[in-house]
């Protein structure tokens, strides 16, 4: 259910990702897109490409020479934009202040890092890109207001992957953001938020898409536009399969499934607000807006059996062998209670009489750096069972419709995968996906082979 009726239904929120604001020229393309549609009133930006990765590395704590190197790379990215602006003194001072802050926080992180410190540090990327973009728009005679999203993006304190408080966001948005929209366009940060005590949080890597959708929902907007570096959602990542085809129209549930299973094009939670309010999402390329894109909406005519392939790398496979005899009760319950206490959510799961195999997603948060399997967790687990850990696996998801009812799936899928070791198969729980776990090194070839079989033949 939408928490507000549509008070601004003619307006649009546009989100520009890291590559779209990577440098001065890319930012200029974004300005052109905004100029071309007067309904675009709320602009959500990511940090310039590369900056978040560097900030995450600084937040993990590093030696001083490495730190200097990372800081220099961040400074170079921001200065390259400032150097192309005309009257740049004021903005340079502002960015310099933020860079000093980053340096100070990075030094603190190298002494003792924390999840809260990581999010505070990482948030500087979006703060800098939005300040620079407002200045660029000003110099193109486009009035725009910089808005600190933390005033309205209330989250819990699950740093690194914080969850938004939808009702509070609605109230705060109506109070602080909504009144501005008739007078100006608002430039704000994706990805970052604030918890109750006032500390900065982040919504998980790639979270700016989610911010845009949350704002679209809270403001009751007409559409959410996601501008990125590819002109739409394709049958698979076009970097892996250059012959992948664009999907012009896709249903919310299919696209959500793609995002959940790793299609980086959308943050996994992006479609939740859109579905709640039925707001269509458009995905296009800021480099070539004339190329069109994909519309994600409630329903499409004739959903195909196979829609797309998604890939999620860096998965860990845990195989847990029960120490007890056959038919021991409560083993699953004990394992899941333990994992939940360690804040770990399980992905795929298969079971046998005496063992469980499950996968953990080690990507997505700013704070874990892929290290979900702490020594504490492994020690506790080994009291319950014998633990086998296999890292660097990849999850390949075949996304489609009515897959659980289809006949003869095996031929198109498993017939062509003969040369590969498929470590785990998950099928049947959802009619929208069949998932395969394969060694990370084989992942791209598996995707290419499946694409050829399911989408090209």
Question: Residues marked as binding for ATP?
Answer: 15-18, 228-229, 234, 239
Contact of residue 229 among ligand ADP, Mg ion, ligand ASP, none (CB under 5-8 Å per partner type): ligand ADP
H helices present in 306-384, as ranges: 331-341, 375-384
Q: For residue 387, count CB atoms less than 10 angstroms from its CB and return exposed for 0-12, middle for 13-18, buried for 19 or more.
A: middle
205 binds ligand ASP (CB under 6 A): yes
Q: Can you list the alpha helix ranges (DSSP code H) found in 37-88?
A: 51-59, 64-82
Rule CB under 5 A: choose which of 160, 206, 207, 289 binds Mg ion.
Answer: 206
Q: What is the closest distance, in whole angstroms, from the C-beta atom of residue 161 to Mg ion in the complex?
A: 15
Count of Cβ atoms closer than 10 Å to residue 415 Cβ: 10
Touching ligand ADP, residues 40-59 (CB under 6 A): 46
- Cα-Cα end-to-end distance for the chain: 41
**Residue 202 to residues 124, 128, 159, 177, 296, Cα–Cα distance (Å):** 11, 16, 6, 20, 25
Q: Does 239 bind ligand ADP (CB under 6 A)?
A: yes
Binders of ligand ADP among residues 72 to 91 (CB under 6 A) are: none
Select the residue interacting with ligand ASP from 160, 190, 220, 289 (CB under 6 A): 190
Distance in Å, CB of 233 to ligand ADP, minimum: 5
Q: Please list, in sequence order, all residues whose beta carbon lies within 8 angstroms of the beta carbon of residue 50, skipping any fewer than 6 positions away.
A: 18, 22, 73, 77
Q: Which of 61, 125, 193, 262 binds ligand ASP (CB under 6 A)?
A: 125
Which residues have CB under 8 Å from 364's CB, separation 6+? 161, 204, 205, 206, 268
Q: Which is nearer to Mg ion, 17 or 268 (CB)?
A: 17
Minimum CB distance to ligand ADP smaller for 113 or for 285: 285
Q: In whole angstroms, how close is the CB of 205 to ligand ASP at the nearest point?
A: 4
In angstroms, rounded to a whole number, what is the distance separating the alpha carbons of residues 428 and 446?
21
Query: What distance in Å separates the CA atoms of residue 252 and residue 417, rounded to the nearest whole number?
Result: 29
284 touches Mg ion by CB under 5 A: no
Query: Among residues 219, 155, 179, 201, which one has the least CA distance to residue 365?
Result: 201
Based on the shown chain and the rule CB under 6 A, indicate whether residue 265 belongs to the binding site for ligand ADP: yes
Per CB under 6 A, the segment of 176-184, 225-233, 364-372, 401-409 that binds ligand ADP is: 225-233
Beta bridge partners of 251: 297
Nearest residue to ligand ADP by CB is: 17
Site residues (CB under 6 A) for ligand ASP, limited to 11-30 = 17-18
Nearer CB in complex with Mg ion: 61/193: 193
Choosing among ligand ASP, ligand ADP, Mg ion, none, which partner's interface includes residue 230 (Cβ < 5 to 8 Å by kind)?
ligand ADP
CA 379 to chain centre: 31
Q: Does 268 bind Mg ion (CB under 5 A)?
A: no
Among 134, 263, 295, 335, binds ligand ADP (CB under 6 A): 263
The CA distance from 172 to 427, in Å, is: 42
Shortest distance (Å) from residue 203 CB to ligand ASP: 8
Contact 354, 322 (CB under 8 A): yes
Where does this chain bind ligand ADP (CB under 6 A)? 17-20, 46, 206, 228-230, 233-234, 236-239, 263-265, 308
Where does this chain bind ligand ASP (CB under 6 A)? 17-18, 46-47, 52, 125, 190-191, 205-208
Where does this chain bind Mg ion (CB under 5 A)? 17, 206
């Amino acid at each position: 259910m939408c928490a507000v009726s549509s008070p601004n239904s003619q307006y649009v929120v546009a989100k520009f990702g890291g590559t779209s604001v990577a440098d001065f020229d890319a930012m200029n393309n974004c300005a052109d897109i905004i100029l071309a549609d007067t309904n675009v009133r709320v602009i959500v930006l990511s940090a310039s490409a590369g900056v978040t990765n560097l900030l995450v590395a600084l937040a993990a704590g590093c030696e001083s020479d490495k730190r200097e190197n990372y800081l220099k790379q961040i400074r170079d990215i921001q200065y390259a934009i400032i150097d192309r602006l005309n009257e740049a003194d004021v903005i340079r001072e502002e960015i310099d202040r933020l860079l000093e802050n980053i340096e100070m926080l990075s030094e603190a992180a190298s002494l003792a890092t924390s999840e809260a410190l990581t999010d505070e540090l990482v948030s500087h990327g979006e703060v800098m890109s939005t300040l620079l973009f407002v200045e660029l728009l000003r110099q193109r005679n486009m009035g725009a207001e910089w808005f600190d999203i933390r005033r309205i993006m209330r989250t819990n304190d699950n740093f690194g992957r914080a969850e938004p408080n939808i009702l509070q966001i609605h109230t705060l948005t109506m109070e602080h953001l909504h009144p501005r929209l008739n007078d100006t366009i608002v430039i704000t940060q994706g990805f970052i938020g604030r918890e109750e005590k006032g500390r900065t949080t982040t919504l998980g890597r790639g979270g700016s898409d989610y911010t845009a959708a949350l704002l679209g929902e809270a403001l009751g907007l007409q559409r959410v536009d996601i501008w990125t570096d590819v002109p739409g959602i394709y049958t698979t990542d076009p970097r892996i399969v250059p012959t992948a085809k664009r999907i012009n129209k896709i249903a919310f549930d299919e696209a959500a499934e793609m995002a959940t299973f790793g299609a980086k094009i959308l943050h996994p939670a992006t479609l939740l607000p859109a579905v709640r309010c039925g707001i269509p999402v458009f995905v296009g390329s800021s480099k070539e807006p004339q190329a069109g894109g994909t519309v994600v909406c409630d329903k499409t005519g004739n959903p195909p059996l196979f829609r797309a392939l998604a890939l999620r790398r860096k998965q860990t496979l845990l195989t847990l062998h029960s120490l007890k005899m056959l038919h021991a009760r409560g083993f699953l319950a004990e394992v899941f209670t333990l994992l939940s206490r360690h804040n770990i959510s399980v992905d795929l799961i298969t079971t046998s009489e005496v063992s469980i195999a499950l996968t953990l997603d080690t990507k997505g948060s700013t704070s874990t750096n892929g290290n979900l399997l702490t020594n504490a967790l492994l020690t506790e687990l080994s009291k319950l069972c014998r633990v086998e850990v296999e890292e660097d696996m990849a999850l390949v998801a075949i996304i489609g419709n009515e897959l659980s009812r289809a006949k003869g799936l095996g031929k198109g899928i498993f017939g062509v995968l003969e040369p590969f070791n498929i470590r785990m198969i998950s099928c049947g729980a959802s009619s929208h996906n069949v998932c395969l776990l394969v060694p990370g090194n084989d992942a791209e070839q598996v995707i290419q082979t499946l694409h050829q079989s399911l989408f090209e033949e």
